[in-house]
Structure 1
């Protein structure tokens, strides 16, 4: 049975559980991670799993207090087997049935959480995945939205954090080596365009996330979808719509 409280579409009210696989996520993402999560809701539960007796998790130990993340100790019972995954999955199912949550944030690049993501979505909850570029496609596709952690690290470089000058709105550096999915974007625009082929840009962005959960304009060096499309004038045309909205037309189909 679903535990949604009916406010999941409103980031100010959506209650989220954040579960971090410390063995498969770098500690340097933590500031960007929680800033990103704040876009989707409030992190009501924050837990991180790993064997804290091992020195390789030292980076995480230094930053957990700042973000009030609860460490969960998980010993490796068998060499070569990751007991952390099982602990996270068990806790996720416990939270599903004991807490009033609207969604889960699963922070890992491990495909073992694919079935968990699918199961949570079956219950009507939103699932946000966070992982590195190497994350297997099945886990990416099982999430409603998937954010590459490389993006979080690039947005919060040490140079920016330590600068004493007033912060400027810097353009993120491209991370994805391949070009953006221009044809897919054009297909989405064409599928919802009016009789003159114009489509609402915001709706296009929402549908792109559904078609491709890991679509993120920051991967291609652009903060917003409008910036990305304007970089390809032979493909897309944009104009101001009613109110503050923006309309877009695909020039190639």
Structure 2
């Protein structure tokens, strides 16, 4: 004899696009003659389009859908009207009701998302993980910048300016003092290092070892550029 199965769904917790998967699993257990979806109908418009299910409007009270589902489950179990349940929710609050139903000798198939708490999963006779295929909401557009400050030069253009300054001010192949480079970049190219993420010229230059070679720290530290690091464009720069 085919088992009579009650399918009780937390409609505020699961998307209506899972209805087919829920019903298919329920039919594998027996005859899902009773199929109810609980929740505030205003919050689950997708379920109202599922003709195979009956909507039970819970109103807008906190946890009202959970309470109605639990009451119906215990009434059905007490009246011996069903021989098994499908509890579809990812909410751990259904752990207790699943436990009580199993104590009455009834099979309980739990169904929910991967985030479902282990306690609810283990309280069921078996648990099936589902994932909604509904498209996630589109990301919010990034706010437009409101600053009127001039845009910072891109790294490639900035490095070409740095190379040109070092080449023009190199002292007998030693390169250029970092403090002098800072002044030259500010006066000739309107570039202030505090406007860049690195905040300090030594930090900026040291982060690009393929382009620059630095002396140890000190007020008279020099920086040199590596022609190979700039590729073919370095041929246009003056020798260090």
Q: Give me the TM-score of the superposition, normalised by structure 1.
A: 0.51
Match for residue 49 of structure 2 among 45, 58, 62: 62
Give per-residue Cα distances to partners, 1:69-115, cap 9 Å, x unaligned.
Answer: 111111123xxx22110110011111112243111100100011101
Q: Which residue of 2 aligns with 1:238?
A: none
- Using the alignment, how far apart are the partners of 2:45 and 2:54 within structure 1? 15
**Is contact 2:37-2:47 (8 Å) kept?**
no
Give per-residue Cα distances to partners, 1:173-229, cap 9 Å, x unaligned.
Answer: xxxxxxxxxxxxxxxxxxxxxxxxxxxxxxxxxxxxxxxxxxxxxxxxxxxxxxxxx
Give per-residue Cα distances to partners, 1:20-58, cap 9 Å, x unaligned.
Answer: 100111111111211121111110211111111x2x311
- Using the alignment, how far apart are the partners of 2:58 and 2:17 within structure 1? 22
Which ranges of structure 2 fall in alignment gaps of 5 or more residues? Answer: 134-240
Match for residue 114 of structure 1 among 79, 91, 95: 95
Residue pairs, 1:150-161, within 5 angstroms: 150=131
The alpha carbon displacement at 1:17 in A equals: 0.5
The alpha carbon displacement at 1:127 in A equals: 0.3
- Using the alignment, how far apart are the partners of 2:3 and 2:16 within structure 1? 25
Match for residue 25 of structure 1 among 10, 14, 37: 14
- Using the alignment, how far apart are the partners of 2:91 and 2:16 within structure 1? 16
Q: Does 1:147 align with 2:128?
A: yes
- Using the alignment, how far apart are the partners of 1:76 and 1:62 within structure 2? 20
CA RMSD of aligned residues (A): 1.9
Q: Which residue of 2 aligns with 1:74?
A: 58
- Using the alignment, how far apart are the partners of 1:25 and 1:31 within structure 2? 12
Q: Which residue of 2 aligns with 1:86?
A: 67
**Is contact 2:5-2:86 (8 Å) kept?**
yes
Q: Does 1:130 align with 2:117?
A: no
What SS class does the counterpart of residue 58 from structure 1 fall into? Answer: coil
- Using the alignment, how far apart are the partners of 2:89 and 2:28 within structure 1? 19
Q: Number of paired residues? A: 135
Could you say which structure has the greater relative contact order, defined with CA pairs below 8 angstroms and 6 or more residues apart? 1
Which ranges of structure 1 fall in alignment gaps of 5 or more residues? Answer: 1-6, 8-12, 155-253
